[in-house]
Amino acid sequence: MQKVTFFKSIHVKIVLIYILLILLAMQIIGLYFVQQLEQSLITSFEESLNDRIEIIEFSVREEMIRNRTDDDLTVEQSLRSVLNGFKSDDISEIRVVNSQYRIIGSSAIEKQPLIGQRSADELVRETILSGEPKQQIKINRDTERRVWVATQPIMTVGGELLGTLYIEAKVENVYDQMDEINSILAGGTALSLLITAILGILVAQTISKPISDMRKHAQAMAKGNFSRKVRVYGDDEIGQLAKAFNHLTNRLQESQQSTESERRKLASILANMTDGVLSTDRRGRIILINDPALRLLNVSRETVMNRPITTVLGLESEYTFEDLIHMKDAITLDFGTYEQSALLRTNFSVIQKETGFVNGLIAVLHDNTEQEKIDMERREFVANVSHELRTPLTTMRSYLEALAEGAWQDNDLAPRFLNVTQTETERMIRLVNDLLKLSKMDSGETELNKEMVDFKVFFNRIIDRFEMSKSQNVTFERDMPKTPYFVEIDTDKMTQVFDNIISNALKYSPDGGKVSFQVKEVDGLLQTKISDQGMGIPKENLDKIFDRFYRVDRARSREMGGTGLGLAISKEVINVHGGTIWAESDYGKGTTIFFTLPFETDDGGEWE
C-alpha cells in the first residue's frame, strides 16, 4: 500500500521529469564535447605541423645562406633535394619563395614549372611584408577539399628576411574523423529524443488530466456556474489541490453577494477608462489607479497607493477631501516641469451606496496640455499677424493723411511719402505671401517638383548671384568638396531657403566682414554651413529663431524689411526634403546656420 502511495506522489513525477532533463543535458554535453574534440584535433594537427615547419625552415635557411662554389649545386637544385626529404602523407606541398616573391623551390613534382616565377599568393605577400608567420584554412579549388595553409618567414640570425616557406597540408582528414563522430552522436541523440518523447507523454498524461479538469471548471466559474465539481483522482498533491478547489467554489458562491458593491465600484471605474482614473476609499485614500493616471501624474503605483488623493494631486493646500466630494466643476492641475508642460483637467465623482452613504471618490484626469498649447499658439499667431499688419498700416495711414491734407502739393515730400507707402505695401504683400506658403506646408498641400542636381554647382550659382549683386563690402569665402554630390530637390524652394539664409547673413554682416560657405559629408548626409560675422544671437534665443515671427532684434529686423517668417519657411522646406536645420552662434561674433540633406554619389544616369 505504501508502495502504491509512493508512486502516486507528485515528487516521484518531478524526479522523472528531472531524469528526462538530465538526458537532454547529456546531449548538450555531447555537442560541447564534439566541439572541444574538433578544436583539440585541429590544434594537435597545427602543433604537429608547426614543429615540422621549424625544422624545415632551419634546413632551408642553411641551404640559402651556404657559400657556394662553381661546382656546387644551385640553390634551386639543393632546395629540391631538401624539400623532398620532408615529404609526408599529410603535407601536400612545401614551397620556398625568396624576398623578391620569386618561387625558388617546391616539393610537388607538378609544381616544378612554377620555379622562377613570381608568387601571387596573398598570404606569402603578407608574410614577406610583415615578417610574421600566417596560417589559414581554405578550400582547394581543384579537389574541393579543405587544406591548411601556413607561411613561415625565413630569417637569418641577424634578422635579415631571406624569404618565406609556403606549406599546404591535408586538414580534411581531421574533419572526416569529426563527421564519423558526429554521425554516431546524431544517432544516439535521435534515439534519446525518441525515448524522452515517449516518457514525457506518459508522465504528462498523469499530471495534465486533473489540471485539464480544473481548467474547465475554472472556465465554468468565470461564466458564473458554481455548481460543477472537480473530480478527485487520488490522494497526491494534485488530488488535494482538487479538493481545495471544490472548497473554494463553495466559498465563492457564498461570497458572491458580498462582492456586489465592489462590482458596482469597478463598473463605475471601467466607464471612465479612456482617461486617467483614481478611486479612493471613504477616507480619501487611493485604493485604485489605472496606468494612464500613473503616466499623467508621472508617479509609480507603489508611491501613491493608500495616500490621500489631495496629496497625490497636489491640492492639500487648497482643498480638503470633503471639498472634493462636493466639487461640481472641473479643476485644472499643472503638473508641468521646466522642460515640458502638463495641464490636466480633473473631474470628481462621488461613489455612494444605495443608502446614500459616501463610499469613496473617483477622479477622472484628462490631458489638456495639447489643447492649451494649440489655443496659446493660435492666440500668439493672431497677435503676431495683427502686430505685423498694424505697423505698416499705421505708417501708411499717417502718410496718406499727410498727403490728403496737402502734402501731395509739395514736390519734395510727396514722392518720399508715396515711396514709403509703396514700401509698406510691398512688405504687407511679402508677409501675406509668406503666410500662404506656411499655410500650404502645414496643410500638406505643397507639391515638390524634384530633380537630381549637382549640389555644388547649384550652390555656387546662388553664391555667384549674391556676390554680383551685393552692395556692402563683404567678402565671400567658399569651401566646396571636389567630389560631386547629387541631391534630389525642388530647386525653386531650395533657392528660397538659400536666399533667406544668405540675405540674413548679408544684412547682419558688418562692413568689411566675411560670409563663409561650406559643404561636406557628415554621418552619411550632406551638410551645408553658412556663417557670418554679425552681431550673433544670445544663447537663450538661439532655439527660437526658427519660430514664426520671431526676431532677436525686432526694431532692426523690421527696419530692414524682414517679416520674421524666412527661417520658419526654410525649416519647413528642409524638413519636407528629409533634412534638418539648426543654428549655432557666438554672441557678438557671428551666427552659423547648418542644414543637412540626403545625397547620392552618382546621378543615376540622368545628369548631363
In this predicted structure, what is the pLDDT of residue 375?
Answer: 67
263 within 8 A of 271, measured Cβ to Cβ: no
**pLDDT greater at residue 257 or residue 169:** 169
CA distance 29 to 594: 59
- Residue-averaged pLDDT of the chain: 77
135 within 8 A of 148, measured Cβ to Cβ: yes
1-15, 294-308, 415-429: least confident range: 1-15
Output the DSSP codes for 530-571: EE--SS---GGGGGGTTSTT--SSHHHHHHTT--S-HHHHHH
Give the best-scoring range by mean pLDDT among 88-97, 144-153, 426-435, 509-518.
509-518
Alpha carbon dihedral 417, 418, 423, 429, in 10-degree steps, equals: 130
Nearest in space to 493 (alpha carbons), one of 565, 574, 429? 574
Burial of 178 (0-12, 13-18, 19+ CB in 10 A): middle
CA distance 403 to 399: 6
Strand partners, 351: 360
276 within 8 A of 295, measured Cβ to Cβ: yes
Regarding whether 149 and 43 lie in a shared domain, the answer is: yes
Regarding whether 358 and 421 lie in a shared domain, the answer is: no
Final residue of a structural domain among 367, 397, 428? 367
Nearest in space to 104 (alpha carbons), one of 72, 131, 82, 126? 82
CA distance 528 to 596: 6
Regarding whether 272 and 345 lie in a shared domain, the answer is: yes
Final residue of a structural domain among 176, 195, 225? 176
- What are the residue ranges of helices labelled H in 444-553? 455-469, 491-508
Regarding whether 541 and 429 lie in a shared domain, the answer is: no
Among residues of the chain, what percentage have pLDDT more than 70? 77
Where residue 557 sits, what CATH number does that domain have?
3.30.565.10
Regarding whether 38 and 159 lie in a shared domain, the answer is: yes
Where residue 354 sits, what CATH number does that domain have?
3.30.450.20
Q: Is residue 243 part of a domain?
A: no
Regarding whether 454 and 429 lie in a shared domain, the answer is: no
Q: What mean pLDDT is predicted for residues 426-435?
A: 67
Regarding whether 423 and 288 lie in a shared domain, the answer is: no
Regarding whether 393 and 500 lie in a shared domain, the answer is: no
The three grid cell numbers given for residue 80, joined into one nine-digit string: 629540391
Q: Is residue 608 part of a domain?
A: no
Amino acid in position 253: Q
Q: Is residue 216 part of a domain?
A: no
Q: Is residue 143 part of a domain?
A: yes
pLDDT per position as a tens digit, 181-197: 777 777 776 677 667 66
Regarding whether 563 and 466 lie in a shared domain, the answer is: yes
pLDDT per position as a tens digit, 356-412: 788 888 888 887 777 767 666 566 666 666 655 666 677 677 777 777 777 777 777
Regarding whether 516 and 481 lie in a shared domain, the answer is: yes
Long-range contacts of 15-21 (CB under 8 A, 24+ apart): 16/199, 16/203, 17/203, 20/196, 20/199, 20/200, 20/203
CA distance 277 to 366: 9
Nearest in space to 307 (alpha carbons), one of 299, 317, 298, 295? 299
Regarding whether 354 and 307 lie in a shared domain, the answer is: yes
In this predicted structure, what is the pLDDT of residue 167?
Answer: 86
**Structural domain boundaries enclosing 532:** 450-597
Q: Is residue 560 part of a domain?
A: yes
SS3 of residue 9 by DSSP? coil
Q: What is the pTM of this model?
A: 0.39
CA distance 511 to 513: 5
Q: How many domains does the chain have?
A: 4
Q: Is residue 470 part of a domain?
A: yes
Where residue 417 sits, what CATH number does that domain have?
1.10.287.130
CA atoms 73, 74, 75, 80: torsion sign: negative
252 within 8 A of 340, measured Cβ to Cβ: no
Q: What angle do CA 561, 562, 564 make, to 5 degrees?
A: 155
Regarding whether 407 and 348 lie in a shared domain, the answer is: no
CA distance 487 to 452: 6
Q: Is residue 247 part of a domain?
A: no
Q: Is residue 185 part of a domain?
A: no
Residue 12 pLDDT > 70: no
CA distance 234 to 252: 24
- Residue partners of 192: CB distance under 8 A and separation at least 6: 23, 24, 26, 27
SS3 of residue 103 by DSSP? strand
SS3 of residue 501 by DSSP? helix
In this predicted structure, what is the pLDDT of residue 338?
Answer: 60
CB atoms within 10 A of CB 402: 15
In this predicted structure, what is the pLDDT of residue 528?
Answer: 92
Final residue of a structural domain among 443, 458, 482? 443
Residue 517 pLDDT > 90: yes
